[in-house]
């Protein structure tokens, strides 16, 4: 069995456990007044588990490939893939998580998006910066204003 199918089988197991938890154990501890709400805290995990199970079965059945077998992961040539980019992105994610509080959401997220797209090979600064600005501002507005969840927009030293 190919590496992508092994990974899909592993993710299928995780999604089944996650789905079981979301469907059967999370709803048991809800307060009675919350049981009448149309959306429960377990709604998003339920949707994620179902989508994960469907995606895993799609990969296990080989439906995503069609007739062509181009793009199979060759486990004998694992060192030929872009490990540098992957490790840089993982490191950037760690730095992003560490910078969220001290530097604020707006600067950290915009820097993450611009540097991440640069690592992945994008060199059009006139595209990267506006896209990062719009995406960062939109997410902050939705979380802060629409959902009402406080998200520190500016660095700590600015006092916000």
Each residue's pLDDT, cut to its tens digit, for the chain (160 residues) gives 677 888 999 999 999 999 998 888 887 777 777 777 777 777 888 999 999 999 999 988 887 766 555 566 666 777 777 888 889 999 999 999 999 888 989 999 999 999 999 999 889 999 999 999 999 999 999 888 887 778 778 776 676 5
Evaluate whether 146 touches 128 at the Cβ level (below 8 Å). no
Distances (CA, A) of 41 to 36, 44, 47, 72, 133: 12, 7, 11, 38, 30
Please report the pLDDT score of residue 87 as a whole number: 92
Please report the pLDDT score of residue 82 as a whole number: 81
Distances (CA, A) of 135 to 91, 131, 146: 21, 6, 15
Cα–Cα dist 97/51, whole Å: 26
Domain ranges of the chain: 3-76, 83-158
Distances (CA, A) of 99 to 37, 60, 94, 105, 119: 36, 38, 9, 8, 19
Quick one: DSSP state of residue 157? G
């Amino acid at each position: 069995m190919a590496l992508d199918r092994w990974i899909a089988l592993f993710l299928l197991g995780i999604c089944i456990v996650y789905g079981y938890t979301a469907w059967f154990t999370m709803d048991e501890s809800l307060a009675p007044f919350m049981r009448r709400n149309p959306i429960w805290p377990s709604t998003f995990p339920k949707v994620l588990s179902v989508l994960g199970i469907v995606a895993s079965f799609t990969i296990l059945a080989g439906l995503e490939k069609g007739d062509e077998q181009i793009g199979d992961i060759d486990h004998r040539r694992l060192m030929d893939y872009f490990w540098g980019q992957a490790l840089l992105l993982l490191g950037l994610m760690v730095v992003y998580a560490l910078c969220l509080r001290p530097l604020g959401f707006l600067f950290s997220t915009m820097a993450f998006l611009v540097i991440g797209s640069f690592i992945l090979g994008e060199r059009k600064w006139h595209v990267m910066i506006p896209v990062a600005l719009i995406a960062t501002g939109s997410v902050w507005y939705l979380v802060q204003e629409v959902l009402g969840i406080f998200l520190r927009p500016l660095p700590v030293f600015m006092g916000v």
